Amino acid sequence: MTAVAPAAARRERILQEAVRQRLLDPEQSLLAGFVDLDGVAATARALHDAFPRSPEVPGALHTFAAKANCLVPVLRELRRQGLGCEVATAGELARARAAGFPAGRIVFDAPAKTRAELERALALGVTVNADSFQELERISRLLGERASRSRIGVRLNCQVGGGAIAAMSTATSTSKFGVPLTDPGNRERLLRAFGEHPWLTWVHTHTGSQGCPLDLMARGVAQAVDFADQVTAAFGEGRIAGIDIGGGLPVNFADDEVTPTFATYVEQLRAHAPGLFDGRYAVVTEFGRSLLAKNGFMAAYVEYTKTAGGRPIAVTHAGVQVATRTVFGPDAWPLRIEAYDPNGTARRDRPVRQDIAGPACFAGDLLARDRALPPLRPGDLVVVPDTGAYYFSTPFHYNSLPEPAVYGVRTGADGQTAFTLIRPAQDPWHLTERDGVNVLPEDPVPAGAGDAR
C-alpha cells in the first residue's frame, strides 16, 4: 500500500471532521475553503528563521502581501505571528488596520495611489513606496514643510528580465511598475531626487513572483542594493535607511513538498546581494503566496457526472468563482485535484481520465482537463490543495455565484480538530441586497405572473 503523505493525511482528517460537523453538506454547504492556522504559524516561523538576526544585523520586517489573502481574521493571525502587512489599495489598507497592524508595520505599494490615499497614508505614518517620478512630486507637494512619520521610498524597476509567466514578471524592460532604472537618464534623475528630498530614505524593488527563478529575483535585489550604495556614496552614510526587497517566492503546485524554501532564497540573496546582510540597511520583505498557498485548500461537492465524446465529466461547485486564474490560464496555473467519497475518505480506485468542471455558465469553466482521478460520482467531494492564497479568499462574482464559507483550522493538544469561521457563506437568495433590493425567495409570485399574452 502506498504511504499517505502527512499533508494529505491532515487534509483527509480535516475534511472528514468538516463533513461530520456539516460544514460541508450536499444540500446546504456545497463549497468551502479551509485555512490551516497551525501551518500558517509554522510557515511564518520558517520565514523569520531564514533571515539572519544579530546585534549588527537586526531581523527583517516581514510584511504579508494582503492581496494574497485579505480576509481580516487571516491578517490578524499573521499579525500575531510577528508579521507586518503590505497593501496595494485603500481597501487593503482598511483591512490591515481592522486586523490591528500598527501603521509603522504597514507598507503601501500601488502604481496608481490617489492624492486622498497618499494623504491618509502619510497622516497615519504608513510606509509609502512611490512608483514614479510624478508620484514623488505629488508626495513632495503633500508634505510641504511638515514632517511625516512615514518611511518613504521609491520603487525601482531593475529591468533584469521576466520569468515563465509574463503577467507575474514585474522587472521586464517595459513593466508598468516602478522607475525603470536602466532607461536613459533615470539613474541620474533618481539620484537628484534623493538629493532634493531628504525624506526619501528607502529603496524598493520586486522582480516578480510565480514563474520567476530565484537567481533572477536575487539579481533584481542586487541592483537595488547597488543603487542604495550609489546614493550612500553621493550623500553620506545613513542616507538610505533600508531596502524593501519585495516578495514573490514561487510555490510548488505539483505536490505537497514545500520548495523552494525561504532559506534557499536567502542563499541566493547572499550570493548575489551580500551587502543586504552587512547591517548597513534595514530589510523589509513582502511575501504572500508562499506564506498561505500550501496552508489552505477548498472542497466542493460533485453534483452530476456525465460522459461527452467518450470522456467522463464531473460537474462540481468549484470553478471560475474560486479558481479564476486556473480557469483562464490553466497552463500557467495548474492545480491538483483529489477525490473523496461523501464521508471525506480519499478514493483510491483505479484512475480514469476525466474533466473536473465548475458550475459557471461557460464552456471553459474547468478546474482540470483530461485528469487521471478515481472515478467520481454524484455526492463525492473534490479537494483542491494549495489554494490558501488568491483562490477562495478572492472570489470572482461571475454568474452571481455566492462567496463560499472559509474556516480556520487548528489541532488541539488532544488531537481534536477545531474550526473557526473566518468568512460566512453568502446566501445566494439574498445577493440582491447588495444592489439595494430586498427580494426573498419566499416572496409570493404576483397573480397573473407568467400569463402575459
pLDDT in tens, 346-385: 999 999 999 999 999 999 999 999 999 999 999 999 999 9
178: cell is 516602478
**pLDDT band of 450, cuts 50, 70, 90:** very low
Percent of the chain residues past pLDDT 70, beyond the cut: 95
d(CA 341, CA 16): 10
**pLDDT band of 159, cuts 50, 70, 90:** confident
The reply to whether 442 falls in a domain is no
Pair (126, 262) in one structural domain? yes
The reply to whether 60 falls in a domain is yes
Pair (244, 371) in one structural domain? no
pLDDT (mean) for 71-93 = 98
**pLDDT band of 301, cuts 50, 70, 90:** very high
Instruction: Answer with the residue of higher pLDDT: 439 or 436.
Output: 436
Pair (286, 140) in one structural domain? yes
d(CA 269, CA 265): 6
How many structural domains does the chain have?
Answer: 2
Q: Where in the sequence is the domain holding 356, given as residue range(s)?
A: 6-36+294-435
Pair (107, 123) in one structural domain? yes
Q: 377: burial class by Cβ within 10 Å (0-12, 13-18, 19+)?
A: middle
The reply to whether 446 falls in a domain is no
Pair (176, 164) in one structural domain? yes
H or E segment and range at residue 408 = strand 405-411
407: cell is 474556516
Pair (31, 122) in one structural domain? no
Pair (157, 272) in one structural domain? yes
**pLDDT band of 148, cuts 50, 70, 90:** confident
Closest CA to 67 of 199, 206, 189, 272: 206
pLDDT value of position 93: 98
Q: Final residue of a domain: which of 269, 291, 313?
A: 291
pLDDT (mean) for 419-432 = 95
Task: Compute the mean pLDDT over every residue in the chain, rounded to the nearest whole number.
Answer: 93
Give the total residue count for the chain. Answer: 453
pLDDT value of position 451: 43
Which residues lie below 8 Å from residue 18, measured CB to CB, with a gap of 6+? Answer: 24, 32, 34, 299, 344, 407, 419
Q: Final residue of a domain: which of 291, 306, 324?
A: 291
The reply to whether 1 falls in a domain is no
The reply to whether 203 falls in a domain is yes
**pLDDT band of 1, cuts 50, 70, 90:** very low
Q: What is the CATH number of the domain that holds 396?
A: 2.40.37.10
Please say if the pLDDT value at position 453 is more than 50: no
Instruction: Answer with the residue of higher pLDDT: 266 or 453.
Output: 266
- Please state, as a whole number, how many other Cβ atoms lie within 10 Å of the Cβ of residue 49: 13
Question: In this predicted model, what pLDDT tens digit does every residue of 178-236 receive, in sequence order?
Answer: 999 999 999 999 999 999 999 999 999 999 999 999 999 999 999 999 999 999 999 99
Pair (113, 98) in one structural domain? yes
Pair (189, 312) in one structural domain? no
Pair (64, 14) in one structural domain? no
The reply to whether 252 falls in a domain is yes
pLDDT value of position 169: 87
Pair (93, 170) in one structural domain? yes
pLDDT value of position 438: 78
pLDDT (mean) for 425-435 = 90
Percent of the chain residues past pLDDT 90, beyond the cut: 86
Q: Any bridge partners for residue 311, and if so which?
A: 308
For 223, what's the count of Cα atoms within 13 Å in the CB-facing half-sphere?
Answer: 22
Instruction: Answer with the residue of higher pLDDT: 101 or 445.
Output: 101
pLDDT value of position 254: 96
pLDDT value of position 59: 77
| 83 contacts 305 by C-beta, under 8 angstroms | no
The reply to whether 447 falls in a domain is no
Question: In this predicted model, what pLDDT tens digit does every residue of 41-67 receive, in sequence order?
Answer: 999 999 999 998 866 667 799 999 999
The reply to whether 364 falls in a domain is yes
Q: What is the CATH number of the domain that holds 107?
A: 3.20.20.10
Q: Final residue of a domain: which of 242, 276, 291?
A: 291
Alpha helices (H) in 84-179, listed in sequence order:
90-98, 115-124, 133-143
d(CA 214, CA 254): 18
Pair (234, 358) in one structural domain? no
pLDDT value of position 145: 63
